[in-house]
Amino acid sequence: MSAFLVIDIGNTQTVFGLYEDGELAAHWRLSSGRYATPDELAWQLYGLFEQEGRNPKCIDGIMVASVVPRLDRTLTQACERICGLTPAFVGEPEIKTGMALDYKNPREVGGDRIVNAVAAREFFGSPVVVIDCGTAITFDIISPEGRYAGGLILPGLEIGLTALHERAAKLPEVSFARTDMMIGRDTATSMQVGSYWAAVESICGLIRRIQTLPGYQDVTVVATGGMVNVVAPDIRQLNHVFPHLTLEGLRLLAERHFA
């Protein structure tokens, strides 16, 4: 039986996935504590395996996508201590993704975005657009030829509300949430209504613009990310909602790299 630990280090959360024979056996989310020590992270990682009744020493390989370089060494030391293995990071020269990048500087593309593109092409073919709703909202576009064509980056679903609260003295702190209203009757509700429908309409509008490009009229649209289920019901152009797309992409790379 093959077993891989895959890890997606994001700006807000770090997501762990344990795969056994190609199936997601367990997954966990931790806050991406930028000042955590290797000892703290090792203790948390050990606890995750312990609660599932699994032996961390039985892992065949660890594949990581990270957008928080500060945490890379901390995670590496924690994995070496608990699993006895040094993780492989997407973006290292020896990690072959099989995805040609049309970016001016390929090193600028986050590992999570590459992994999403690899998984989306594997599962849905090309052309395909991946929308990842996390701290930022990213669009990753795979061309009809199966190449990483580029993408878009815009503020995440919660960032606008945070900025309003921090920069406008009378505006309260409000959580991002779906609402059926279109007219708010108080300040907090007005902020929720505006932020929610502005996010939905911006995503829908960007999809429509992409679909006007030559070769993308019938593009498959896939959504993922920690906040995706909040907005997905109102984005009619979505063909698939795939919450664990990043983990699946990491699994694919782990199977290829550690085989």
Residues marked active site are found at 112
Task: Please tell me the distance from the alpha carbon of residue 196 to that of residue 231, in angstroms, as a whole number.
Answer: 8
What residues contact 195, with CB distance under 8 A and at least 6 apart? 157, 160, 161, 164, 174, 176
Nearest one of 136, 227, 234, 224 to 176, comparing CA atoms: 227
CB crowding 227-259: b at 16 or more within 10 Å, else e: bbebbbebbebbebbbbbbbbbbbbbbbbebee
The structure tokens listed for 128 are 């395909």
The structure tokens listed for 214 are 């030559």
Length of the chain: 259
Nearest one of 200, 256, 257 to 228, comparing CA atoms: 200
